[in-house]
Each structure stands twice: as C-alpha cells, then as structure tokens.
C-alpha cells in the first residue's frame, strides 16, 4: 500500500516536472517572436527624494503581454531570456525605448534601466548604449544603469571593465538588490557606483522593527555616505515604511506608496497634473 502511495507521489512529481518543462518550452518559443510582434512595453515607476518627496526620475520595468500566455512577469521571463540568448536584443530594445521616452519628460528627471549580467558579457554593449543615447538625444547624465552583484560573479574582470567604460560615457551605475546576493564589499571599491539600492526585504523588516534589518540599512547608508554614493530604498508600500526609511537616512525611496510602475502615457499625464505626486507624498 505505502509503496503504491510512494509510486503515485513520484508519478505526480515527474508529471509536474514535465509540465514545467513544457511551460518553459512554450514560453521560450513565444519569447522568440515577442519583439517582432511588438509584445513588450516599458512601464515606469517613480523614484523620489526621501527628505521632501520630490520626483527624481523613474525606473523602467519591462512588461510582456503575449496572446497565448497573457501577462508574464519579468521575474519569470527575464531568466529565460538570459538562458536563451534572447536577453541582448530585448535589452537593447529596453534601452532604446527608455532613452527615447525619457526625452519627453522634464529634463531634470532621470531614467533607470535594468541590465542583466549576460548583457555585459557582450563586448558590443557599450556601443549599444552610445547609440541609444545618440539616437534619442538623451544626455548621458540622465541615464542610470542598474546591475546586480551577479555581474561580478560571471567573469574575470570583463564586466568591471565594461562598467568603467559606461561610467566614462557619463552615465550613472546603481547596484540593485543590495544585500540579497553574494555581497562582497570589494565590488564597491572596484566600480564607482552612484547609488546602492536597498532591497525591499530590508525595508519590510525595518518597518516591523527587525533589529537586523535596521542595522543593515544603517550600515549601508553609512557605507554609501562615506564612499560618496546615494541610497535608494526599494518597495516602500506604507507610511510607516517611508517614515522608517527617512529616519534611517536613505536618500531616495521607490515603492507603491509613491506610485506603481505605469505606462509611458500615464507618466506624461502626471506632468500635466504636477501636484499628483506631491499629494501622495504628503
Ligand atoms: P528590480 O529591478 O529590483 O525592480 C523592482 C521590482 O519591485 C519591480 O518588479 C517592481 O514592480 C517591484 N516593486 C516596486 N515597488 C514595489 C512595492 O512597493 N511593493 C512590491 N511588492 N513590489 C514593488 P517587476 O517589475 O516585476 O520586476 C522584477 C525584476 O525583473 C526587476 O527587479 C528586475 O530585476 C527584472 N526586470 C524588470 N524589467 C527589466 C528589464 O527591462 N531588463 C532586465 N534585464 N530586467 C528587468
Ligand atoms: Mg532595478
Ligand atoms: Mg531591486
Ligand atoms: Mg529585484
């Protein structure tokens, strides 16, 4: 009897593995044609100054709507794109679209773009950035590129060299999801980041009074201060979280409290009603 039960469990497990593999296969197949079919769209989420809630810029976040699969979150399809060499063309589209759309914003606002470690293994990446800036006319100081610590794990120095090239173009670099990976402070010495992004998990913890989360945010803020970098706290949803982050000295805040990621057209609407952000911030 118990042997039968175990057999059923194994069969169910094997079936679910097959289902997962099949889902992945379909998704990869759909992903291959997604650019040509125009299925991607950039959304933009406000980043504000912690002290007074004024708008600093937006982070661009890709969205995928596919006929068969519906809306697929980047958390699901970006890893697949990274594994299947599709990330370079998709990443290039992201960069060009974000630079282009940011040109329609007030000229004091920055745009941040996420770049995968795989994109930085392509030696042509810097020239794609140069071309995106030139074609859109966006000044390099308005572009921020977000990478995670994983870029440094990948290869022996190639990524760091590429990042230096980007800095010499005049664009800024942010270190995303700080504290969630294999954090080594050595990276901060190797590459001149402008901003450290504090992961949402610490934000949630700190607002709940977690001693560890509070200590970590304090340490990151102190480290950033002494190295001449700013900090952006990610994923603040509540007033308590925002107040906590302000008290801890974070420079910038991003999160649903100030605004969800929105289509480019909604960003433009925001500028026609300039007080719409301030009311949420108050
Ligand atoms: P990320 O760069 O750390 O982006 C922040 C994520 O947190 C976004 O999820 C955003 O929608 C979400 N978020 C922002 N505020 C809040 C909040 O208050 N509460 C909660 N619960 N979540 C919040 P999203 O858009 O699903 O993106 C997930 C990840 O996918 C990103 O994490 C980034 O690593 C990757 N990604 C997104 N767009 C791109 C892209 O264009 N290129 C690449 N390479 N990766 C991208
Ligand atoms: Mg990011
Ligand atoms: Mg992040
Ligand atoms: Mg993240």
Strand partners, 254: 47, 234
User: In angstroms, what CA-CA distances link 54 with 20, 246, 256?
Assistant: 44, 13, 15
Q: Which residue is closest in CA terms to ligand 1's atom 17?
A: 235
Supply the DSSP string of 169-196, one letter for each residue: TT-EEEEEEETSS---THHHHHS--SEE
pLDDT tens for residues 116-154?
Answer: 999 999 889 999 999 999 999 999 999 999 999 888 887
Compute the distance between CA of residue 221 and CA of residue 85 in angstroms, rounded to an integer: 36
The complex's ipTM works out to 0.98
Ligand nearest the Cα atom of residue 197 = 3
Q: What is the pLDDT of residue 63?
A: 98
User: Which ligand sits closest to the CA of 116?
Assistant: 1
253 pLDDT exceeds 80? yes
* Beta-bridge mates of residue 63: 41
Q: What is the CA(27)–ligand 2 centre distance, in A?
A: 23
Collect all residues with Cβ–Cβ distance below 8 Å to 90 and sequence separation of at least 6: 34, 35, 40, 62, 81
Kindly list the protein residues that place their beta carbon closer than 5 angstroms to ligand 3, a single-atom ion. Answer: 176-177, 234
Q: Following DSSP, what letter does each residue of 24-70 receive, concatenated?
A: HHHHHHHHHHHTTTT-EEEEEEEEEETTT--EEEEEEEEEEEETTTE
Distance (Å, whole) CA 97 – CA 160: 25
Judge whether residue 204 has pLDDT over 70. yes
Protein residues with CB under 6 Å of any ligand 1 atom = 45, 61-62, 73-75, 78, 91, 94, 114-116, 146, 176-177, 200, 234-237, 255-256, 261
- Probe residue for ligand 1, chosen from 31, 46, 61 as the CB with the greatest number of ligand atoms within 8 Å: 61
Average predicted confidence (pLDDT) for the chain: 92
Percent of the chain with pLDDT over 70: 94
Q: Looking at residues 65-72, what average pLDDT do you find?
A: 97
pLDDT, average across residues 79-85: 94
CA 200, distance to chain mean position in Å, is: 12
Closest CA to 232 of 44, 108, 46: 46
Average pLDDT estimate for 90-98: 98
Q: What is the pLDDT of residues 163-182, one digit of tens each?
A: 999 999 999 999 999 988 77
């Amino acid at each position: 009897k118990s042997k039968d039960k175990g057999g059923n469990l194994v069969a169910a497990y094997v079936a679910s593995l097959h289902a997962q593999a099949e889902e992945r296969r379909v998704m990869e197949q759909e992903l291959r044609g997604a650019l040509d079919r125009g299925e991607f769209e950039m959304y933009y989420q406000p980043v504000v100054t912690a002290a007074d809630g004024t708008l600093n810029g937006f982070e661009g976040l890709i969205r995928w709507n596919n006929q068969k699969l519906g809306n697929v979150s980047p958390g699901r399809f970006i890893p697949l794109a990274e594994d299947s060499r599709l990330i370079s063309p998709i990443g290039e589209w992201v960069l060009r679209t974000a630079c282009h759309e940011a040109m329609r914003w007030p000229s004091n606002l920055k745009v941040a773009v996420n770049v995968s470690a795989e994109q930085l293994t392509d030696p042509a990446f810097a020239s794609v950035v140069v071309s995106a800036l030139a074609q859109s006319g966006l000044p390099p100081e308005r572009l921020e590129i977000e990478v995670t610590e994983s870029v440094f794990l990948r290869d022996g120095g190639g990524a760091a060299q590429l990042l230096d090239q980007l800095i010499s173009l005049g664009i800024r670099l942010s270190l995303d999801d700080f504290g969630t990976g294999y954090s080594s402070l050595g990276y901060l010495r190797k590459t001149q980041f402008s901003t450290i992004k504090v992961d949402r998990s610490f934000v949630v913890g700190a607002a709940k009074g977690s001693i560890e989360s509070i200590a970590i945010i304090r340490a990151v803020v102190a480290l950033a201060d002494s190295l001449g970098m700013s900090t952006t706290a990610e994923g603040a949803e509540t007033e308590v979280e925002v107040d906590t982050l302000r008290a801890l000295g974070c420079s910038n805040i991003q999160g649903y409290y100030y605004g969800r990621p929105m289509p480019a057209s909604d960003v433009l609407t925001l500028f026609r009603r300039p007080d719409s952000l301030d009311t949420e911030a108050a």
